[in-house]
């Protein structure tokens, strides 16, 4: 299995760390975020711009959190 390596801005890592609790895995957090993002992208119109897709995903997550 490929082992991707990529860089993230410090500010993004700090935001992620603020959500993690003791014993949580950064890698698992990133994998879950990617899986969620891809699942939502499968449900939306491919004609949307990247910004429209992002806004759609954020709104979908907000609705899930409030349910």
Residues in the chain, overall count: 67
pLDDT value of residue 36:
82
* Residue extents of the structural domains in the chain: 25-66
Contact 53, 44 (CB under 8 A): yes
pLDDT value of residue 67:
58
| pLDDT (mean) for 36-59 | 82
pLDDT value of residue 60:
78
CA–CA–CA angle 67, 65, 13 (5° rounding): 175
pLDDT value of residue 40:
78
pTM of the model: 0.68
């Amino acid at each position: 299995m490929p082992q991707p390596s990529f860089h993230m801005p410090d500010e993004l890592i700090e935001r992620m760390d603020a959500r993690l609790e003791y014993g949580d895995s950064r890698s698992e957090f990133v994998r879950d975020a990617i899986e969620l993002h891809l699942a939502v992208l499968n449900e939306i119109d491919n004609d949307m711009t990247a910004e429209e897709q992002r806004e759609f995903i954020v709104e979908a997550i907000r609705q899930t959190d409030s349910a």
